[in-house]
Amino acid sequence: MKGLLVAQNASYVHTNLAVRLLREQLHKDISILEMTVNEDLHRRIGKILLAAPDYILYSAYIWNWTDIQRIGEYIRKADPHIAQYVGGPEVSYDVEERLRNEDWIDGILRGEGENTIGALVECIEGRRGRSEVAGLAYREGEEVRVNPLPAYASDLNALIPASYTESMKNRILYYESMRGCPYHCSYCLSSEGGRIRYRDVKKIKEDMREIFATGTKLIKFVDRSFHIDPARSVEIIDFFSEESPADTGIHFEMNLEHLDREVAKHINAAPAGKFQIEAGIQSVNPVVNAAIHRKTDIDAVGRALQMLDTEKTHIHLDLIVGLPHEDLESFLAGFDRVAKLGAQKIQIGFLKLLRGTELRRRAEEFGIVYESTPPYEVIATADFSAREVILLRNFATAVENYYDEARFREVYHAVQKKGTPPSQFYLGIAQKLQDDAHRRLFRGRDGKYRFLHRHLNEKYGRDAPLYDALKKDFYRNEDRYIGHVLGIEDPELSKNEVIEFLKRNPEFASDRNPHKAAKRVRGVRLANTKRYYLYTDGKYIRHFDERR
């Protein structure tokens, strides 16, 4: 019989680790069909039908479940002989409800599938009864039967690693060096994932050498133990520094508040840009953290950031909107504390009430109302009105466009000098986005400059230091005349003035011929200085200020 593992990723750059692991454990030829949810639905259905499988195993997550439902129903009607099974975090819970309501599903394989997929395939092929497949949920007449999960969890060292037959040049690869998590955050499925298991570092290195050969530029390395076993962490970090290809980045999720000094030292010794660290702060309010079983110590995160060379390693900090007991004021105060830490990115997510999590079970207790379809995002809570949640969606857009894009750092600091905390700056932008919701406000790169220019003028009047800051941000990033973008008159220094400057400072452009060098230099008037910018191939190299 012909089987098909179907993966549908959130976008082309993502890859599905689960189907690759399942294929390897099966010891049997089975095809993988990997698509994205952005592809036309009927085209995806066409690909599945063209593969002519006898049975399909869908890998289900919150980002593809609604599509799987439509595809599964369609396929049942198009070819009722194809058996359809689902597995994955989105379907491992509430299985009775699913099997009663969705008759296109022949069975749900709950929990980790690597140890049970073989039995399921034997069952589909008629060599084993359904009651003999651990973790399988299925219908029998009017009844739904749910077999217990296997008594043992997958031994990570016994797993045959995923293999990659295709080029992964422009794609992100995921790798699990451990499963389970020592923490118990009530909104997260990893906290329910059973005991913690590690893969031996020796095996990790062997797997990684295979992965490096795929040409991937980014590996998302899932290991939540970096603060638990510093010696193991150091060995892994040094391995990446020494052996990973120069253009391959490694992304870690880390609990920064417990960052070990020695681990930090080894991260700092890596080539610049090798590591990206994402750290979940989620909330800095202790009442909120107590409700979700977290203990975030923001001062300890600050100390960790001081240990790290943040010029070399990019740090992303995450916050979540909609946690129990968090209101707008508390969220914004938390944002200001996080912003002070100076991470390159602050990612604002919206609480997802995932099936199987404690927080979903207790949602009513906290007054949390959420979408009934995936991704089950928060609509309102006892402490956050629905309108405030929408306002914070615009706030997240403002942060993504004006904080995470380092292009606007001068303006960011200048508004703070005027006494506006970061949260109020982004809230102002969010408010404007909301008020003008019917207009498309950011049209490309230039649109962002224009929008910010308008916003600063409306909010602060025609303020010279703020305009200077915007100008500095602009010329730091653009080798072109600001007036053409903002639709204003603000002449640059003349070519002659630039040439005279280069005669006085021949070392600035490392070119003895000032006439030739002047082609790469722009002169700009700021409040008390003339600033000269040097570019190469349109990219900013350096600047020099001459007091007027």
Which chain residues interact with ligand SF4 by CB under 6 A?
Answer: 181, 183, 185, 188, 190-191, 224, 280
Spell out the residues 6+ positions from residue 475 whose beta carbon is closer than 8 angstroms to its own. Answer: 482, 522, 524, 531, 533, 540, 543
Q: Minimum distance from CB of 226 to ligand SF4 (Å)?
A: 11
Residue with tokens 């009047």: 461
By C-beta, is 281 or 427 nearer to ligand SF4?
Answer: 281
Neighbours of 252 (CB within 10 A): 22
What single DSSP character describes residue 39?
Answer: S
Cβ of residue 437: shortest distance to ligand SF4, in angstroms? 32
181 vs 441, which CB is nearer to ligand SF4? 181
How far is the C-alpha of 126 from the C-alpha of 113, rounded, in Å? 19
Nearer to ligand SF4, 236 or 281 (CB): 281
12 vs 183, beta carbon nearer ligand SF4 = 183
Angle between the N-to-C axes of helices 298-307 and 261-268, in degrees from 0 to 180, rounded to the nearest 10: 40
Owner of token pair 């909120």: 288
Rounded CA-CA distance 165/114 in Å is 20
Q: How far is the CB of 452 from ligand SF4 (least distance, A)?
A: 34
Q: With respect to ligand SF4, which residue has the nearer C-beta, 183 or 544?
A: 183
Per the DSSP assignment, residues forming a β-bridge with 545 are 531
Q: Which is nearer to ligand SF4, 358 or 405 (CB)?
A: 358
Least distance to ligand SF4, CB of residue 397, Å: 24
How far is the C-alpha of 91 from the C-alpha of 526, rounded, in Å?
Answer: 59
Nearest residue (CB) to ligand SF4, 128 versus 316: 316
- Closest CB 338 distance from ligand SF4, rounded Å: 16
| Distance (Å, whole) CA 287 – CA 468 | 42
Q: What does DSSP assign to residue 459?
A: H
| Shortest Å distance, C-beta 359 to ligand SF4 | 11
Nearer to ligand SF4, 357 or 401 (CB): 357
Distance in Å, CB of 247 to ligand SF4, minimum: 29
The CA distances from residue 202 to 194, 225, 237, in Å, are 24, 16, 13
CB of 230 vs ligand SF4, minimal distance in Å: 18
Shortest Cβ 189–ligand SF4 spacing (Å): 7
**3-class SS at 492?**
coil
H/E segment holding residue 514: helix 514-517
Gap between the Cα atoms of 217 and 428, Å rounded: 37
Secondary structure of residue 476 in the 3-state scheme: helix
Q: How many Cβ atoms are within 10 Å of 212's Cβ, its own excluded?
A: 16
Enumerate the β-bridge partners of residue 352. 377
Helix (H) or strand (E) holding 6: strand 3-9
Q: Which amino acid type is present at position 323?
A: L
Query: Judged by CB, which is closer to ligand SF4: 3, or 280?
Result: 280
Residue closer to ligand SF4 by CB (options 293, 303) is: 293
CB of 196 to ligand SF4, least distance (A): 10
Q: Which is nearer to ligand SF4, 172 or 281 (CB)?
A: 281
Cβ 513 to ligand SF4 shortest distance, Å: 57
CA distances from 65 to 39, 99, 188, 213 (A): 15, 14, 18, 32
CB atoms within 10 A of CB 194: 15
